[in-house]
Structure 1
Amino acid sequence: MSVALTKGGNVSLNRQAPGVRSVRVCLGWTAGPGYDLDASALLCGASGKVLTDQHFVFFNNLQSPDGAVRHLGADGGGGEGEDRERIEVRLADVSADVQKVVFAVAIYDAAQRRQAFGQVRGAYVRLTDADGGAEVARYDVIPETGSETAMVFGELYRNGADWKFRAVGQGYASGLAGIATDFGVDVLQPAPAAPSAPASAPAPAPLPPMPAAAPAAVVPAVPKTQPATGSSPVTCFFDPTHGVGSAVVLWQPQWGVPRQVETCAACAQRVQTTVPPFYTPQQAGYPQQQVQPHVPAQQQDQGGRRFGTGAMLGAGAAGLVGGMLLNEALSDDEPQVVVNNYYEDDDDSFF
């Protein structure tokens, strides 16, 4: 005896049809001229999605990969209450990864033809024994809004070692593509046509010229005296034994104006870290002026000795030299400082 199901109801095949091995899902409806409805089956895994796109059985793919689900096509009927399409399921052959088989019906090209299930009458789904033809269950599908273009009629699903059939009755307004997408089928959608450009589109106005970039600031480099072509490299100003003067520093002598000299790296660092007015390290190979201790004018051992003519001449010469140095210090021109570099030859001569 067949069981009449309502939306959401289910029936156990072990109880209602014990020993059944294969079932047929028969789908029927009545529609006016110009309506083309197609049935399909979706084999879903535990996630509720199809295992692969090949597990979507419809008019372009009539059999599942395991061969357990086959689309039998139209029944040849079309009259009131007659089956329109059938799908057969061999329960024992269904892959163990398949947890349920969903059965849907969609109106072909519904959006362009302005068709919907509101104009379809007497839709139903029947579950029958494929071997004997006896009806196990039936569900009369009733659209909820009438604007549906595709509907899930029912589903077969595992329940332990048993199979059950459930009445679903869920509608879609997006047709077969909406059902396929909802169950994980990769549906290729046509790319939207690019909008045509107006016939008399005005030419775009030219862009204003870009403002010229501001010139980069030029930082003047500290001038460095280059040796004349063919001459020997300039040695360290303070000590020729230090090697070539590789750095240019500003030197503050004891008298005169500051000037730039070429020194080795060590002397350059000391000049820059020594408090002005001067820095003059001992230079090897040059005679050094000996600093004489200060002697008071009145020596205790000499009493009130007076200085003679030689002392007067020496004092006059010292004053002359001091005046020349003072004149050089007050002059705007750079003093002519001559550095005597000497080189030792085989004959120990100096030049």
Structure 2
Amino acid sequence: MFIGEFQAGKVIHEDLLVVQHAIKQARNGKDYQFIKLQDRTGQLDGYNWNYQAGSPEFKEGQVVTVKGTIQEFKGNLQVNISSIAASGAAFDRDKFLPVTSRDVNVLYQELESMIARIQNPHLKKLLVTVSQDPEMKHLLQTAPAAKSMHHAYLGGLLEHLVSVMGLALRVCPHYPEINQDKVLAGTFFHDIGKIYELEYKTAFEYSTPGILLGHLYMGCEIFDRFVRKFPQFPAELSMEIKHIILSHHGLLEYGSPKRPKTLEALVVHHLDDLDAKINTINGLFEAAGKSNSPWTDYHRLLDRRFYRGDEGNGDRAEQPEELPATPVKKSVQPEPSDSGQTKTVARAETRKSFSQQPFQQLDGILPFEGDKKEE
């Protein structure tokens, strides 16, 4: 039985994954054991009130056998642990780690389709090369987007990248002065450092490089590693994409060493922030739905609760599975004397020629004629 199937009053005897362990002190001064447990369907707080000094303690990522009773407290389920011990069962990632509900192969095809819409030859060559690199493809299809905040499940990073790039293809045509190619490249690279920032073999944790360097810096390292394959890649274009990576958190206090200082960087920051928050709130809605509450629990980082209404997540209008063949462009009528605005419209018109076909066959794209081979 999985955590998602637990009900109040039920006695369980299950193998679960430890994702957090702490010895805490109750109001009466007695120590108790707090353990956050997980399987692929969710997480559950566990309390061992019978803990005694010297009893076994457990590490994050360890599989344990838990006996106890499921209780409901303030609308949430928890387990009152009667016994807990290390399990002899082998770790099974498919059982214990959450995974995206989307088909990662379909998601990757969507990613390729959106990369194929890039017109700038330098950016297109770069993104095709990165996305077709065997190691990068495997990691992008596997990595979570976060340890716990948003898209915190296997394949979550790919789901997040595809979602943000899809938002870019809808927003950029509304503002033809924005360079859509730079936004698409920036969204592709903005979180790519998370493939190395996070550990996700037995549990979601930060790697040592991730703790010391962070995914913004690591994303720039990945970008530079692949750019070096193309000596003719424009230096200024490289600088602008790295600025998007470094500034996408938006504020210095949120970890960005620079705030967004180009239109494209500003767009990527807001689209990334929107997608992350929507995913987080939808997770809160799902949890509230299990308790039949119209309100979510308080979220510490978002500093509020969210109202899901009587119908909750209910029936929503179905979204189209595919993007329009050609982005809808805002109609702009330039003044004859305004040469700058005329150029803006001209740039928007060039988007009509964007390739709409995914590069399932790379003939004519790889290798790239005219590029000097790396010495």
The question of a shared fold, defined as TM-score above 0.5 by the shorter chain, is answered with: no
Computing the radius of gyration from Cα coordinates, the structure with the larger value is 1
Going by fraction, where is helix more abundant, 1 or 2? 2
Normalising by structure 1, what TM-score? 0.18
Going by fraction, where is strand more abundant, 1 or 2? 1
